Homo-oligomer: A and B are copies of this chain.
Amino acid sequence: MVRRTGAATREEIHSAAARLFRERGYSRTSVRDIAAAAEINPALVIRHFGSKELLFLDTMRLTIDDEPLLDVPPAEFGERFVERLLADDDIRGVYLALVRGSDEPQIKERLQAIHERTFVGPLRARLAGPDADLRARLAAAVVGGLLYALWVVGDDQLVAADPAELVVRYGAVLQQLITPA
């Protein structure tokens, strides 16, 4: 194998860690596991990222592409939002890992930040009125509930259901919340 540069090693560690944290969660993934998957030495993991927790937080980022949602007609927003959530593989892994690791204060903070930016923010941008903030937060709770049921609980019937049907039904629930009463 070609000798790796420091940057390449760092990238391999990051990539292996991102995968393992998503699959097994924070507490069940050890620094040794990451090193083995990246085929490097455990000491390098710490040298490059400082600590296991810093590495974890570094892998738990979501870059949501908001563009497709900007042009959606207001009446279709609920469905399109649910559709996007189910289509994005990264959301599943990141949310699962953050939720399960959230008894660590720093991880809970990150979960709050991502919940706010990824769910509450886009929903509130679609709302008006004096109680827009509260309604956006309730809608974000509904959104989180779908991810919770599918990926945290792992409701087999929902996982096996036709995604298109979930989009239609669950999108309608969301739509009710963002449509002015």
Contact = CB atoms under 8 A, between A and B. Distances in A.
Stoichiometry, copies per complex: 2
Interface in A105-150: 108, 111-112, 115, 120, 133-135, 137-138, 140-146, 148-150
Interface of A is mostly: helix
B102 A152 contact: yes
A27 interface: yes
A154 B99 CA distance: 11
Given A99-B152, A111-B152, A140-B155, 16 more contacts: A27-B27, A99-B99, A99-B148, A100-B103, A102-B153, A112-B154, A115-B155, A120-B155, A134-B158, A134-B169, A141-B158, A142-B142, A143-B145, A145-B145, A145-B148, A176-B176
